[in-house]
Structure 1
Amino acid sequence: MDLSKKHLEASSTSLLVCTEVIILLSSFNLLGHYFLGLATATTVIRGNDTDQRALLQFKSKITSDQLKVMESWNSSIHFCQWYGVTCSRKHQRVTKLELQLLKVSGSLSPYIGNLSFLRELNLADLINNSISGEITSNLSACFKLTFFRMRSNQLTGEIPGSFGLLSKLKFLSFINNSLTGSIPPALGNLSSLEELYFTYNALSGVLPEALGRLTNLTQGNEIQGTLDPNLAITMPYVGALSVWGNRIYGEIPISISNASNLYQLQLDGNRLSGNVPSLEKLEKLFALNLGENHLGYGREGDLNFICTLVNKTTLKYLDMGINNLGGVFPECISNFSSNLLQLVIQQNKIWGRIPEGIANLINLETLGASRNQLSGPIPSDIGRLQNLKIFYASNNSLSGYIPHSIGNLTVLSKLALDFNNLQGTIPSSLGNCQNLLVIGLLLVQRDNNRLFSILLV
């Protein structure tokens, strides 16, 4: 994506649909240096015997090491240089143990709880790990642990309630194991937790109310199906509907326009298709997120719903990027309330000019219009958007010169205008944008009948 997704936190009255435990959208890549080969240190560094013994006990429970990655775990080199082990520089204590992707089989030794400086434990499998047995409750002794990933193994038994003592834990994943029992209410004590994965297990019971205390969690699900055509009738008083990041397909119900109390509508990251209905009656609408769906038919008329949002003085966030929306960029955008902060239309099939009247949206902070079929010049009064921080319009067919007024965007931090048909020189006024961190400009300049390309990234 050209822009990072920007979701609003739902208020305490928000409706957040959940059918599975909790599935997060984030991902981590901690493969690091493992594919660069084994360490070949020639000297032995003085270290901590407790950590070394704990690692050797861990190794003793490994019954199969197909890639022989643990052959380096011997006395010829210091344990901090063993494969998959990372230590702190100052104290030479184990801070990371990462053995994912390595076809290792065995069980989890309780001695791992003696690694009191351990911060990250990653034994996740994307190929053929098979760590089996129960989760040792001794892990609660690793009080500095922030990252714990045991995805796709053969763990059995229950999740230890003692995990609630890991107060610094931010990431916890047991996806695709054979865990049973219920989710311990003690996990509600993990106030630092940001991501929690329990899907594809045999857990039972209800979701503990204590998890409601985990205010740092980012939540998502994989709900499938369609939206009820009588949605607004069955939920007439709903203030916020948030089902982003699921597998909902079909059309947005026409009845949604009757949900007059709706102030937040988040439908992005699904498989919705068809036309977006009129939203004229949603007078309280504050945020409308429709991005990353299959909305529209790539033709004129797809954007008719835009003009039903004119004069919505509460509307601040409008995101319809990454869809199949076609048609001319509506002139009615010029009549939107000046309270609008974010307008994202990127990666659609929208053509025509960027309306000159867009300069009326004087409080706009983000304008994302990349990867469309826009043509014509950049609005000459673009400099009126003095609160604009992000302006992306790359991969279009924009032509003409970059307006000198762009130098008035003094808080601009990200600018992308590359892969257009712009010409001329970069305005010297752009030097006024002292906060500019990312710049992409592709200009075509004619000098003595020779054609030059200038690319700044």
Structure 2
Amino acid sequence: LRILWLDNNTYGGQIPDNISHCVNLESLFLAHNELVGKVPGKLGSLSKLRTLAVHHNNLSGEIPSSFGNLSSLERLSAAANQFVGQIPETLGELKRMRFIGFGANKLSGEIPSSIYNLSSLSNFDFPVNQLQGGLPTDLGFTLPNLERLNVGDNQFTGPIPASISNASNLMRLTIPQNGFSGKVPSLENLHKLQWVVIAVNHLGNGEKDDLEFVNSLVNAYGLELLEINTNNFGGMLPEAVGNLSTRIRILRVGNNQLFGNIPSELRNLVNLELLELGDNQFTGRIPGRNLTSLAILVFVENMLEGSIPSSLGKCQNLILLDLSNNNLSGTIPTEVIGLSSLSIYLDLSQNQL
């Protein structure tokens, strides 16, 4: 037996020990079932195993240290279980590993340094755990083939390493809801970036050059998501934001310490579906032209003035509009009030309308 594929069933109980007798097994797919209990340590004897997928079950206990003996393993997918304890150092022996995924478990402690040295890794996926520590300063050099880095919703601290720009294949940088701090380094060499999600951290120092890294993102020709909200970013939103990829769909910079005018260059982002700039100190007028793909627009809690642009009435997909707590004046355009799509939320309160 070389391939055992039992994904997407309702299998319960424990993973049987005797699977370890299938010495020629190369792929074991047990994902999306109702398996419980500990993973048998004997599976570590399957020296030919290349893929082990047990994600979306109810498996518990610690990750067996014997997995370090799976010398052929390339893909280890164990997200959405109940694994506890620390990640075994022995996983750093898996030199062929390309994908490692333990998201949505209850793992704690620090990720062993040996795992950061698995140079073949392309997917590094540990979100929604209780992991701590910092990212190594040489991360971009030790993981040069990295395509996806996801450690969101943990307890990481320290800076984003400047060496990350060396991981030139990186497509998704997803590290929200941690304690990362300091300046965001230049990302100019990361031309393949699609997602930059660094929200809900302690990044930035409330200084005017905090958003310099945004200028470096104009090289990311496929950027779709930029979420930097709920940090300590100060200064002005750079005009270069209008030179970001026209593929960008989500831009969130709310809940920072940004001031000045909202750049009119935003009008270039014609495929933007969500624009969230709330809870800052923006002044001036609302730029409204060209952003006809918007579904969600949030400018709450700023110091914007002038009238609501009637051009917002061209946003036929707009379902949520929040311009409350500003200094807007004049009459509410009939084009906006008449939007049939505005079915979820409209808040224009605390203005001078």
Same structural fold, with TM-score higher than 0.5 when normalized by the shorter chain: yes
Q: What stretches of structure 1 move > 3 A for 4+ residues in a row?
A: 188-191, 195-198, 201-218
Measure, in 2, the Cα distance between the counterparts of 1:308 and 1:189.
37
1:293 corresponds in structure 2 to: 201
Give the secondary-structure state (helix, strand or coil) at the position aligned to 1:232: helix
Q: Is the 8 A contact 2:227 2:251 kept in 1?
A: yes
Measure, in 1, the Cα distance between the counterparts of 2:209 and 2:53.
51
Asked if residue 182 in structure 1 is aligned to residue 38 in structure 2, the reply is yes
Aligned residues between the structures? 273
Asked if residue 333 in structure 1 is aligned to residue 253 in structure 2, the reply is no
Residue identity in the other structure for 2:349? L
Q: Is the 8 A contact 1:425 1:443 kept in 2?
A: no
Give the secondary-structure state (helix, strand or coil) at the position aligned to 1:310: helix
Residue identity in the other structure for 2:184? V
CA apart distance, 1:183: 3.5
Structure with higher Rg: it is 1
2:349 to 424, 437, 442: 442
CA apart distance, 1:341: 1.0
Q: CA RMSD in A?
A: 3.5
Matches within 5 A, 1:165-244: 182-183=38-39, 193=56, 198=60, 212=77, 219=104, 220-244=128-152
Residue identity in the other structure for 1:441? L
2:300 corresponds in structure 1 to: 394
Measure, in 2, the Cα distance between the counterparts of 1:190 and 1:386.
43
CA apart distance, 1:357: 1.2
Residue identity in the other structure for 1:260? S
Residue identity in the other structure for 1:228? P
Measure, in 1, the Cα distance between the counterparts of 2:206 and 2:351.
30
1:161 corresponds in structure 2 to: 14
2:158 corresponds in structure 1 to: 250
Distance 1:236 1:212, change over 3 A: closer
Measure, in 1, the Cα distance between the counterparts of 2:279 and 2:302.
6
Measure, in 1, the Cα distance between the counterparts of 2:59 and 2:260.
45
For normalisation by structure 1, the TM-score amounts to 0.53
Identity of aligned residues (%): 37
Distance 1:357 1:189, change over 3 A: closer
Measure, in 1, the Cα distance between the counterparts of 2:33 and 2:14.
16
Unpaired runs of 5+ in structure 1? 1-142, 144-158, 175-180, 446-452
1:365 corresponds in structure 2 to: 273
2:284 corresponds in structure 1 to: 376
Instruction: Identify which of structures 1 and 2 has the higher relative contact order when contacts are C-alpha pairs closer than 8 Å and 6+ apart.
Output: 1
CA displacement, residues 112-141 of structure 1 (integer Å, 9 cap, x when unaligned):
xxxxxxxxxxxxxxxxxxxxxxxxxxxxxx
Measure, in 2, the Cα distance between the counterparts of 1:203 and 1:225.
19
Asked if residue 260 in structure 1 is aligned to residue 116 in structure 2, the reply is no
Matches within 5 A, 1:8-407: 161=14, 182-183=38-39, 193=56, 198=60, 212=77, 219=104, 220-379=128-287, 382-407=288-313
CA displacement, residues 397-430 of structure 1 (integer Å, 9 cap, x when unaligned):
1111100111001101111111111112221001
Measure, in 1, the Cα distance between the counterparts of 2:246 and 2:64.
50
